Chains A and B, each alone.
Chain A
Amino acid sequence: MWKLLQRSGNAVSVVPRRRWCSPGLSNAVRLSSSQMDPADERVLRKRKFQPQQAADLSEELAGQLPVKSRVVICGGGITGASVAYHLGLRGWGGETLLVEQDRVGGELPWTACGLAGRFEPSYTELKLAEYSIDLIKRLAENGLPTGWRPVGSLNLARSWDRMTAFNRMKSQALAWGMHCEILSPEQCAQHCELLSLDGIEGGLWIPEDGVCDPQLVCQAYMIEAQRLGVRIVEHCAIKKIHSEHGKVRSVETTAGDVECEYFVNCTGFWAREVGTLSKPVVKVPLKAVEHHYLHTKPIEGLSPDTPFVRDFDGRIFFRECEGHILAGGFEREAKMVYEDGVIPLSQTARQHPPDWDHFHELLDALLLRVPSFRDATLDRLTNSLQVFSPDCKWILGEAPEIQNYYVAAGNKTMGVSASGGIGRVLTDLITKGSTYLDLHILDISRFLGLHNNRKFLRDRCKEAPGKHFEINYPFEEFQTGRNLRMSPIYPQLKEAGAVFGQSMGYERPNYFDQQDKHDEFGLPRFRIAQTRTFGKPPWFDHVASEYRACRERIGIADYSSFTKYDFWSKGNEVVDLLQYLCSNDVDVAVGSIIHTGMQNPNGGYENDCSLARLSERHYMMIAPTIQQTRSMCWIRKHMPNHLRAKVNVADVTSMYTAICILGPYSRILLSELTDTDLTPKSFPFFTYKELDVGLADGIRVLNITHTGELGYVLYIPNEYALHVYSRLYQAGQKFNIQHAGYYATRALRIEKFYAFWGQDLDTFTTPLECGRSWRVKFNKPIDFIGRNALLKQREEGVKRMYVQLLLNDHDHEVDMWCWGGEPIYRDGVYVGMTTTTGYGYTFEKQVCLGFVRNFDDEGRELPVTNEYVLSGHYEVEVAGVRFEAKVNLHSPNLPTKFPDREREAYHATRDKPDQADLLSYGGVTTVKGTGIPTDGHGL
């Protein structure tokens, strides 16, 4: 062909798409230069202020901006304002600088509902919200405009399960010192006569909730912060956050550099993008979705005292606001915006036209609930964006990547309720290093890199907002972002009928169900575990069968999601490091396993792990799945400087597949596949050996199961995993080996009274409080973190104690089950909450683990002694019904057909330190029966 035509020069030029254009491009020098990238220009055009003005402004700002400030807060929204205010209160005002790329309080009016409410799913969130509300009230009392009105909040239930959730909430709330009432439908109408009671089962009334104007609250924080000396600079954008030796050193802004010690990222929508302005990138997994607010024109006769109403099952809420109605909701599937991840910098560019079709369902639900709104005239439907994290919880705390870099983001639509509390705890963390609440469920270190993947966020954050109004069922699972991390034996498990749950992105079999496990093509189906009830769960029988297999025959479970670290050094430094970090003595014989906590200076558990001493200078750490990011962060931060260069710490989680075989025949099974002698004499309980299994070698075998059953966990290099699994499963056939899921192993460990970090233990629990003082070695040669606090506590006595409660007269078929978070009453007085609970298949009772305290008449906390615990008469309140309970302080010995002296000697939770010696390496032969008698079942 002869070419006649060519692409002309001025045709569409392909501009490389940029993920994030640093806001710092308004720099005057860059602007005047002609080689400006068109993509940069496009971003700049979206900014509110013109480049020329920006040039003037930056000169003007140059004088305003200090060269040094201890804390730099980026973001002048309500969260940033609150952090600034609290730093001011703490006396750091003069050393705090807040920079905002646009104007402070940049939110457009009414892009938030202004609810100051405390209906939150967890203690931590509730307490933070409660503090925020009190703070707003205080500000209002001091005469600052906040728009605060204590109108109360009315929460409606359309279903029995929702009412159960309300009842559980009420049980908890009383214990947590929050007032609320359960209402009949008629009582709901008394609080708000607008409502149609069609389909309403009842409601929950929280009288102390109220509404406010978020913008005014933000301004109030700002005014107060400025009064306390905080410097606020507007129209100044952060260009880079520089770090040195893993710590924040300075920030580079459009108006010059500022040296700083702490950096706080409160940039809301852009928190993820601002995270990319540092090296290494700070991962803040967030995604923006559309969120609508409906405003009517003023309605005549609308009472200003109309409460804030939430109809959870209709997914809607509404409130009165200056004579009109403000309504909104959380749709089942949210609509994603800026899927490519580039969010315009200014509010105006972020305005989206309302999507009426999307809002339709919510509008109809609203009109159904309040028929009189049908005649109300529309003022506008605003489409403001909201950001959500992948688990629909707030994100705060110190970034794992850079020390002294704090993040407060993902406040969803609840910025007002969150801001006060978040400001306070962040200020505590910055100024004191610790705070008054356990924050691990909100901590930024709960994420992995995968959570920050843009496509993962795009998928998951469609689902996250809907969760907001869902019933808070136990073991809820997300449907999106699944099949992400899978162990090498995942296809086999799926084939075997596994029903999966996700933890840190890892697919973990929760139980095995042989029914309906294939799809229409005969292929194994991916199934997500669902409980969706507060009573007897649908998986009860499956778990019962797996439980029995583990107790009586042999069970095989996938533990691959567990966090696995290797520690090693050339010299003895690794021992020094671990002695410093751990409260137990890690300098034990090679081949031993040590259960130990890593304590914080207050003695609380930052991590609870098992350490296997592989060789003289090589340890392997096994920790809970959710510790994968968190414990690395803790270790790095607390590694003494002189060891930093010498000790290697490697996250090997993804290198090993962990298969646990548990049950009385596990030893016989494993002996068939290996040449090594596995008798207790050569491979005792609580020790480690590297074994050949089948045809594979180099398998790290730990003689523990984390459940209290006999057995082994095999840490298998991934490429051998399938082989070893197949051999185990084949050889296990004659013992009738059975797959066991997470629910079964969980049931085992709860019954055996084993505490798990993240569920029972948290940063506020000390080993002394949970029957593990025998694992704290005060007389170690090295002073470990938290030693002084623990010594002090040993002197003074503990204020709370970890107990096991067995519910009497509870019919597991009919009664609501315990799912954690039930209040415990001793002699009719509230003394604490349950942490983890489950059905004890041997006891045939509900088993609750939890903490009890001892309050005197004036509410002061007194030491809790064994006598105090054992002398009381206990009850546990489950969704409003109290059940009598029997208390245990020590791990019970379960009746068994397969007695094993080793196993019976070991009690994970107990108080007598002398018993600990029985377990040290080589000392197994001196066991004497010290089991605490159980109720006598089967004995």
Chain B
Amino acid sequence: MFKFVLNDAASYVRSNVREFSLNALRLLPQLPQLSPYDVNLVLRENEFVYNFPVDGVIRSYETNQLGSNWPCEDSRTEASFLHRNGFICGIFDGHAGAACGQVVSKRLLRYVSAATLPRQVLREQMKQGADSQSFLKCHNDNVDFVSMIKPMYEASFLKYVNQLLETPQRDVSSELVNAFLQLDEEISQEALTSNDVRTMNVALSGAVACLVHIEGLQMHVASTGDCGAVLGVLDPQTQQWHSKKLNIEHNADNMSEVRRILAEHPKEEHETVIRNGRLLSQLAPLRAFGDFRYKWSQEIMQQKVLPMFGVQAMAPNYYTPPYLTARPDVQQHELGPNDKFLVIASDGLWDFLPPSEVVSLVGEHINSKKILEPMRLPEGDTTLQEISQQLAERKAGLTRKPVDQNAATHLIRHALGGTDYGIEHSKISYYLTLPRDAVRLYRDDITITVIYFNSEHIAKLHSDVDQTEVTAPVA
């Protein structure tokens, strides 16, 4: 099973190669040139848009995914809560196989939705025979677990909920952290107890996650690993876009994270625990789900893993496990009327575009997308002259008309084809036609979800909150 090694080597080369990747591209033997139509087909294959039917904090979200690994190791899930107003979504970037990412993608949201539900409601629901899927409505979900492992995951969920019911309600951040850790623990237990090659595969592959939990005006972003969440804020005075990063990446660039790891292990290991910017010179993200090769004790490794996968499965210098944790870093943010959208994406995007550029691209896209929407006439009486002028303005805007309606696709297009002088079709075509075994060296899986906030509704909620604050003392 050289897969781990290979995979990590790929991402290692990728990070170093990208600077001269375009030169390398030109050196490759002539690749087939895709037509713009073909490029659109590829880029739009996994597009999804959801407009929320009722007036809420979120107006809509747009998401897209472009695979590089095959099968694609990224997963994404978006869902609305069923027993209250709220939205939850996550992006999961798997490594060493897609299994862990897929499983976490499906299960984590269920855990979180149960955990943040008031205990009273949770208890009632469980009495009525609720299962793991009773708390959410997923929007773009057309796959389910195969029937062999589904009962096992249900049992784990039940165990988790019972555990929840015994503990008092905590704040959302703590519940999120708890849900992450519990799920990771259960993945470990399932692998060790069931003796199923599937669950072992889940435990030995890994996934980083970024999860957004929105209820009312409170937004929590829980992130494990190197996915990213960026908030797009419009300055009402200057009409400029600002980006606000809502998570800290857990990788070797993050000094506090490196310090944390070094502190957790004896001094003798300081040379080996992080090497070449990687955990045990193998793993790029410093926190992750799964990857129990860096978590299990040496005994477990000896008993369970090595007989199955051989000695290579154990990382060199593996002395004081665990080296890795799934504990997320949680940031809380109260939504304001200037917060227009949130972009969460796997590192495939952040490798190409910095957060500030992502925000300005989506901001621009919002403006130019107005042209794609049917014209809205102003309220009240309008003269034909006014309409004519408005149409002329729209017509002028048509020159800036974006190719993509979906902001996520817009970002992918810019990530792959962006140059100083605009989108270069041949560049996208190059990236998309790279041979399957080489493509991982040039681009990682890209998954993007853009969530649009309903500023009017947020403003209204804010004024309601202000009023209750003002009136409360009087009452």
A residues apposed to B, CB below 8 Å: 1-8, 11-12, 294, 296-297, 353-357, 360, 363-364, 366-367, 373-378
Contacts and interface: CB of A to CB of B under 8 A. Distances in A.
**B99, B143, B374, B384: residue with the most chain A Cβ atoms closer than 10 Å:** B384
A355 B384 CA distance: 15
16 contacts: A2-B99, A4-B102, A5-B145, A6-B145, A7-B142, A11-B141, A11-B142, A355-B374, A356-B387, A363-B387, A363-B391, A367-B384, A374-B388, A377-B381, A378-B383, A378-B384
Interface in B122-162: 141-146, 149
Contacts of A297: 381
Nearest to A355: B374
B82 to A, nearest CB: 16
Contacts of B395: 357, 360
Interface in B385-412: 385, 387-388, 391-392, 394-395, 398
Interface string B72-84: 0000000000000
Contacts of B145: 4-6
Nearest to A2: B198
B394 A357 contact: yes
Main secondary structure of the interface of B (DSSP, over half): helix
A3 to B, nearest CB: 6
Contacts of A364: 388, 391
Contacts of B106: 5
A355 B371 CA distance: 12
Given A2-B99, A4-B146, A357-B394, A378 B387 contact: yes
Contacts of A356: 374-375, 377, 387, 391, 394
B375 A4 contact: no
A364 B395 CA distance: 13
A363 B388 contact: yes
**B382, B383, B394, B395: residue with the most chain A Cβ atoms closer than 10 Å:** B383
> Which 4 residue pairs spanning A and B have beta carbons closest together?
A11-B142, A374-B385, A8-B144, A5-B143
Contacts of A8: 141-144
Given A1-B71, A363-B387, A376-B383, 8 more contacts: A5-B146, A7-B143, A8-B141, A297-B381, A354-B374, A373-B384, A377-B382, A378-B382
Contacts of A366: 384
Interface in B20-57: none
B374 A4 contact: no
B201 A6 contact: no
B356 to A, nearest CB: 33
A653 to B, nearest CB: 36
Contact of B383 (A12, A294, A355, A374): A374
A5 B144 contact: yes
A367 B388 CA distance: 9
A156 B145 CA distance: 71
Interface of B: 71, 99, 102-103, 106, 141-146, 149, 197-198, 201-202, 374-375, 377, 381-385, 387-388, 391-392, 394-395, 398
B240 to A, nearest CB: 29
Contact of B143 (A2, A6, A354): A6
A6 B385 contact: no
A192 to B, nearest CB: 18
**A353, A355, A373, A374: residue with the most chain B Cβ atoms closer than 10 Å:** A374
A492 to B, nearest CB: 31
A47 B123 CA distance: 46
Contacts of B142: 7-8, 11-12
Contact of A375 (B149, B377, B385): B385
B144 A6 contact: yes
B43 to A, nearest CB: 21
Contacts of B103: 4
Contacts of A294: 384
A366 B388 CA distance: 10
**B103, B145, B387, B394: residue with the most chain A Cβ atoms closer than 10 Å:** B387
A11 B144 CA distance: 10
Contacts of A4: 99, 102-103, 145-146, 149, 198, 202
B318 to A, nearest CB: 26
B143 A296 contact: no
B25 to A, nearest CB: 29
A558 B224 CA distance: 75
Contacts of B197: 2
Contacts of A377: 381-384
B388 A360 contact: yes
A367 B385 contact: yes
Contacts of B384: 294, 296, 363, 366-367, 373-378
Nearest to B149: A4
Nearest to A364: B388
Contact of A2 (B201, B383, B391, B398): B201
A501 B149 CA distance: 68
**A1, A5, A12, A363: residue with the most chain B Cβ atoms closer than 10 Å:** A5
Contacts of B387: 356, 363, 378
A8 B197 CA distance: 23
A3 B388 contact: no
A8 B133 CA distance: 13
Contacts of B391: 356-357, 360, 363-364
A7 B144 CA distance: 6
Nearest to A297: B381
Nearest to A359: B391
A353 B144 contact: no
B137 to A, nearest CB: 12
Contacts of B383: 374-378
A296 B71 CA distance: 58
Contacts of A373: 384
A575 B198 CA distance: 83
A297 B145 CA distance: 60
Contacts of B375: 356-357
B49 to A, nearest CB: 15
A294 B382 CA distance: 13
B102 A5 contact: yes
Nearest to A356: B375
B425 to A, nearest CB: 21
A267 B91 CA distance: 53
A378 B377 contact: yes
A319 to B, nearest CB: 16
A376 B381 CA distance: 9
**A7, A296, A355, A377: residue with the most chain B Cβ atoms closer than 10 Å:** A377
Nearest to A3: B146
B96 to A, nearest CB: 13
A6 B388 contact: no
**A2, A3, A364: residue with the most chain B Cβ atoms closer than 10 Å:** A2
Contacts of B202: 4
**B71, B103, B202, B377: residue with the most chain A Cβ atoms closer than 10 Å:** B377
Contacts of A355: 374
Contacts of A11: 141-143
A1 B141 CA distance: 21
A5 B106 CA distance: 10
A317 to B, nearest CB: 16
A4 to B, nearest CB: 6
Contacts of A5: 102, 106, 143-146
A357 B387 CA distance: 10
Nearest to B377: A378
A298 B387 CA distance: 17
A282 B189 CA distance: 69
Nearest to A370: B384
B199 to A, nearest CB: 10
A12 B145 CA distance: 17
Contacts of B374: 353-356
A315 B391 CA distance: 18
Contacts of A353: 374
Contacts of A12: 142
A357 B390 CA distance: 10
**B142, B202, B381, B392: residue with the most chain A Cβ atoms closer than 10 Å:** B142
Nearest to A380: B377
